[in-house]
Amino acid sequence: MAMSRAGVSEAAGTTYQIVIEQMRFNPPVLTVHRGDRVVWVNKDMFPHTATGMSKAFDSREIAPNASWSYVARQTGSYPYMCTLHATMRGTLIVQ
């Protein structure tokens, strides 16, 4: 993961990864900037979703060993969940 930010280079955002493993989103809270890409990677043996409570985004089912990516375009705080497992919660914060 690229940790350095060029400050003004909005053209190529940073890519962040959220690992879904053992029924958890890791990290559970992730802060990114507009234009950054967030990739959810499912390392469990069964499908999960990353679904914004406000429907800002919805991965639909992410198969085992598959991933889904989303480019954050609007600032805000986006709680999300897995629609298949209601206890799985996370928050994406876009600055």
Rule CB under 5 A: which residues touch Cu ion?
Answer: 48, 82, 84-85, 88
- Name residues whose C-beta falls within 8 Å of residue 9's C-beta, 6 or more positions apart in sequence: none
Q: Between 1 and 86, name the residue whose CB sits nearer to Cu ion.
A: 86
Q: Which is nearer to Cu ion, 64 or 76 (CB)?
A: 64
Q: At its nearest, how many Å lie between Cu ion and the CB of residue 89?
A: 10
Task: Report d(CA 74, CA 61) in Å as an integer.
Answer: 23
Closer residue to Cu ion in complex, CB, 22/74: 22
Q: Which residue has the tokens 């890791």?
A: 26
